[in-house]
């Protein structure tokens, strides 16, 4: 375990905390202590955390939060996929529940807020109710989803997909982790089984609404100087694999005229990509993040270049228009350079726009605390995106310092975190009374 000197999360959180934000049962010091305790699990020497999904570190973090859930009066269960549910029955124990939560796994050497803040925010709502004596009219659930980040299997959102039944048996059988182990082997070491993982599917119609608090992972709230914002949609990624094939040759002996260089074509293609998103939507983005050159010799004209394009928007129609434009551009460039083209679509996930009425209700809660509503599309995937295919979902973003995430420098001030919890609590209480 790291020393307090090397890991001063609590001290840094409390340094500039406005104690007046501790009210209505919401306690900033309690949140700071819990974020601090979690930060030791999987601690890395540069101040980050490493808690892969379905690892002993993720399991230890869950056990710690489960103990806090039990102390808060929640009935705690864990399914075969490792998803943890803490339930408060409320006055009508048979009614549909409102749920909130996130995850506690991380990317390698990630930060202390991505995931844990959402879990602890959801739990802090229960702590506040306990202190103020509020009994919700409907059931309330705090959920920790397994393996959201996907750093173990290179395929994330495993827990929420298992809960909703959105992961196929074929994928379960094909998954391999960074050690080459199957999902079945990993689950058995975790204390579960593949059969139990399959049985993790629940009737999500039991949930009226899921609301997730998450760090922004961007700079829009910083630019607007607001602590908390409203997510107006979660982008659905479409991934293209584009392969340009030409003719390999000696870099010195092959004349420039007549060359069929796939890397030149790929370069022209990459340069065109940034022009297209704004033509279809204000929220669309497209990125070439991976490039493979073969044979990749310094004195060899390449024979083949394979690149991967990540295309996203919070709206499905413009996202698909962008997808088509990019494919057409690849075809045009291949024809111009007289080289072969192969395009494969590897991923296509439906975006999840957030209901306008839910956004308006979140805005009312923000205004109650003198926060000006800022509407932000989420370019990253979240567990709320998976649940949003089946039930209504809402999301709040908490301001990220310098927009940094997935990094030990990831940071959100305690003032902003607690502001987010007050908004979450107010919003949930309004939904409880409807």
| Binding-site sequence positions for Zn(2+) | 103, 114, 149, 214, 406
Paired tokens of 280:
């279809």
Annotated binding site: 103, 114, 149, 214, 406
Structure tokens given for 141: 């659930």
From CA 377, how far away is CA 392, in angstroms rounded?
17
| Spatial contact of 400 and 216, defined as CB atoms under 8 Å apart | yes
Q: How many CA atoms lie within 13 A of 195 on its CB side?
A: 0
Give me the residue label for tokens 């006055």: 91
Secondary structure of the chain as H, E, C letters: CCCCCCCCHHHHHHHCCCHHHCECCECHHHHHHHHHHHHCCCECCCCCECCCCCCHHHHHHHHHHHHHHHHCCCEEEECCCCCEEEEECCCCCCCCEEEEEEECCCCCCECCCCCHHHHHHHHHHHHHHHHHCCCCCCCEEEEEECCCCCCCCCCCCHHHHHHHCCCCHHHHHHCECCCCCEHHHHHHHHCCCHHHHHCCCCCHHHEEEEEEEEECCCCHHHHHCCCEEEEEEECEEEEEEEEEECCCEECCCCCCCCCCCHHHHHHHHHHHHHHCHHHHCCCCEEEEEEEEEECCCCCEECCEEEEEEEEEECCHHHHHHHHHHHHHHHHHHHHHCCCEEEEEEEEECCCEECCHHHHHHHHHHHHHCCCCCCEEEECCCCHHHHHCCCCCEEEEEECCHHHCCCCCCCCCCHHHHHHHHHHHHHHHHHHHHC
241 DSSP β-pair partners: 308, 344
The whole-angstrom separation of Cα 53 and Cα 151 is: 7
């Amino acid at each position: 375990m790291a020393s307090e000197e090397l890991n001063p999360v609590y001290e840094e959180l409390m340094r500039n905390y406005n104690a007046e934000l501790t009210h209505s049962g919401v306690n900033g010091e309690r949140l700071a202590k819990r974020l601090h305790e979690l930060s030791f699990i999987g601690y890395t020497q540069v101040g980050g955390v490493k808690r892969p999904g379905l690892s002993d570190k993720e399991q230890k973090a869950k056990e710690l939060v489960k103990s806090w859930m039990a102390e808060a009066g929640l009935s705690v269960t864990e399914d075969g996929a490792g998803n943890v549910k803490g339930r408060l029955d409320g006055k009508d124990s048979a009614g549909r529940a409102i749920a909130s939560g996130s995850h506690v796994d991380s990317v390698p050497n990630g930060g202390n807020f991505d995931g844990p803040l959402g879990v602890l925010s959801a739990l802090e709502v229960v702590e506040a109710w306990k202190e103020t004596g509020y009994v919700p009219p409907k059931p309330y659930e705090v959920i920790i989803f397994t393996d959201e980040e996907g750093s173990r299997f290179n395929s994330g959102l495993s827990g929420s997909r298992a809960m909703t039944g959105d992961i196929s048996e074929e994928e379960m059988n094909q998954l391999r982790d960074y050690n080459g182990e199957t999902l079945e082997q990993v689950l058995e070491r975790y204390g579960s089984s593949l059969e139990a993982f399959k049985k993790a599917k629940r009737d999500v119609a039991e949930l009226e609404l899921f609301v997730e608090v998450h760090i922004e992972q961007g700079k829009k709230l910083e630019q607007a100087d607001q602590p908390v914002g409203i997510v107006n949609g979660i982008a659905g990624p479409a991934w293209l694999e584009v392969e340009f094939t030409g003719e390999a040759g000696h870099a010195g002996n092959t004349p420039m005229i007549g060359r069929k260089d796939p890397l030149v074509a790929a370069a022209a293609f990459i340069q065109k990509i940034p022009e297209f998103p704004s033509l279809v939507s204000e929220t669309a983005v497209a990125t070439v993040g991976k490039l493979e050159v073969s044979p990749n010799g310094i004195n060899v004209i390449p024979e083949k270049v394979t690149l991967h394009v990540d295309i996203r928007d919070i709206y499905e129609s413009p996202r698909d228009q962008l997808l088509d434009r990019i494919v057409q551009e690849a075809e045009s460039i291949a024809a111009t350079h007289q080289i072969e083209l192969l395009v494969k679509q590897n991923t296509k996930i439906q975006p999840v726009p957030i209901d306008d009425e839910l956004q308006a209700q979140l805005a009312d809660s923000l205004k109650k605390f003198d926060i000006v509503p800022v509407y932000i599309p989420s370019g990253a995937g979240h567990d709320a995106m998976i649940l949003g295919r089946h039930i209504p979902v809402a999301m709040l973003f908490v301001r990220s310092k310098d927009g940094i995430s997935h990094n030990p420098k990831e940071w959100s001030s305690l003032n902003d975190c607690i502001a987010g919890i007050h908004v979450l609590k107010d919003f949930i209480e309004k939904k409880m009374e409807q």
